[in-house]
């Protein structure tokens, strides 16, 4: 985002319209993916989403916002569609092992994602440019679809009738507890989107990192998220998801406060790692709570979460940018602890029952 801003000469507020575009894509995905899954199945929808994401990346690498804004929208739509298909498939396929498996797959994703800021920062330092670094993601998507092969039926066939089965949603409306879990997930998404979007600029101004080094430093956050999610996949087998979720939210608030206030680079780097470790379980445990609360409606649950999370992911970075343009990036980041503490309050006051206490 910072390199795009420099190339196009945009203000923070105008640049953050890309977050709005991406979140609009996420919201659009939430509105249509549940019905698309019923019609064409998760497998075919995942493939269409991969192709769409490649196109979105290509547009995002364009020379003006005429290209980059539609690219951000398409990336948001396609990326969230892939997340929804994967999460709902694992929830249906893994049963009681779903919390662990969702944490494991998110650990793998974060582990792979560790190389993203490192590649981009390295390409910039080498004079190749940030666009070449992002293009690597499109090549990986093509490779994934080649490996997956032509048969995508194991991911879930279309729904041929209106009768309920284990691979599709139960009928009925969402219970009230679902919406509180959904709001908590949206708030943590807003926190993470703000940090991953504007974190390099905060590090540049507060801890005096160079722009390229600040971008690479986010690799500590993503790497810690990978390790944290792998470790959490083991812990959820022994500890209550609710307690782990609340602990991670409290830990995020403390770790971010230190990063936010620190002018010492080594201290900042240490607590970036701690911050990533705490943030690591926000999504896997948040989506697990959400699907538990959906009471057998994982496709609808993930679709609705994409709408609320899309709003949080789009508008939180926009608000940070708007505040930063009027004050400073450091003051603007007050939004992050507000979102995390609010999510913690929601989680503490609206506990989601264990799997054994309800039908999934």
Residues 229-251 have pLDDT tens digits of 778 777 877 888 888 999 999 99
- State which of 178-187, 305-314, 339-348 shows the largest mean pLDDT: 339-348
Residues 87 and 265: their CA atoms lie apart, in Å, by 37
Average pLDDT over residues 50-62: 94
Q: Spell out the domains of the chain, with CATH numbers in brackets.
A: 2-153+174-354 (1.20.1250.20)
Residues 106 and 94: their CA atoms lie apart, in Å, by 15
Average pLDDT of the chain is 83
Do residues 76 and 182 make contact, with C-beta atoms less than 8 angstroms apart? no
pLDDT attached to residue 345 = 94
Residues 6+ apart with CB under 8 A from 180: 293, 346, 349, 350
How far apart, in Å, do the first and last CA atoms of the chain sit?
A: 40
Do residues 183 and 308 make contact, with C-beta atoms less than 8 angstroms apart? yes
Residues 98-141 have pLDDT tens digits of 777 777 787 777 777 777 777 888 888 888 888 888 888 899 89
- The string of DSSP codes covering 136-150 is HHHHHHHHHHHHH-S
Residues 6+ apart with CB under 8 A from 253: 337, 340, 341, 344
Query: How far is CA 297 from each of CA 177, 236, 304, rounded to the nearest angstrom?
Result: 13, 22, 11
């Amino acid at each position: 985002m910072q390199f795009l801003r420099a190339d196009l000469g945009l203000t923070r507020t105008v640049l953050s319209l890309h977050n709005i575009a991406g979140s609009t894509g996420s919201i659009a995905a939430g509105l249509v993916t549940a019905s698309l899954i019923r019609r064409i199945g998760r497998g075919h929808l995942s493939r269409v989403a991969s192709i769409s994401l490649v196109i979105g990346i290509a547009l995002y690498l364009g020379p003006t916002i005429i290209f980059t804004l539609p690219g951000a929208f398409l990336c948001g739509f396609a990326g969230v569609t892939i997340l929804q298909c994967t999460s709902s498939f694992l929830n249906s396929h893994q049963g009681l092992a779903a919390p662990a498996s969702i944490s494991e797959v998110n650990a793998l994703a974060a582990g792979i994602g560790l190389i993203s800021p490192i590649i981009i920062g390295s390409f910039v330092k080498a004079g190749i440019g940030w666009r070449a670094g992002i293009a690597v993601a499109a090549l990986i998507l093509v490779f994934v679809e080649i490996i997956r092969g032509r048969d995508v039926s194991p991911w879930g066939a279309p729904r041929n009738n209106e009768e309920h089965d284990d691979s599709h949603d139960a009928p009925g409306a969402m219970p009230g507890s679902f919406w509180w879990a959904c709001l908590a997930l949206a708030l943590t998404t807003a926190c993470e989107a703000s940090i991953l979007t504007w974190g390099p600029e905060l590090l540049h101004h507060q801890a005096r990192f160079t722009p390229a080094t600040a971008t690479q430093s986010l690799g500590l956050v993503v790497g810690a998220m990978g390790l944290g999610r792998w470790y959490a996949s083991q812990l959820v087998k022994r500890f209550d998801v609710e307690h782990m979720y609340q602990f991670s939210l409290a830990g995020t608030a403390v770790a971010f406060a230190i990063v936010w206030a620190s002018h010492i680079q080594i201290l900042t780097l240490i607590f970036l790692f701690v911050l990533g470790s705490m943030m690591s379980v926000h999504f896997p445990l948040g989506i697990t709570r959400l699907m538990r609360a959906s009471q057998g409606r994982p496709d609808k649950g993930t679709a609705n979460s994409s709408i609320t999370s899309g709003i949080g992911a789009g508008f939180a970075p926009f608000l940070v940018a708007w505040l930063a343009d009027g004050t400073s990036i450091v003051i603007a980041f007050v939004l992050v602890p507000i979102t995390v503490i609010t999510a913690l309050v929601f989680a503490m006051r609206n506990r989601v029952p264990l799997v054994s206490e309800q039908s999934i």
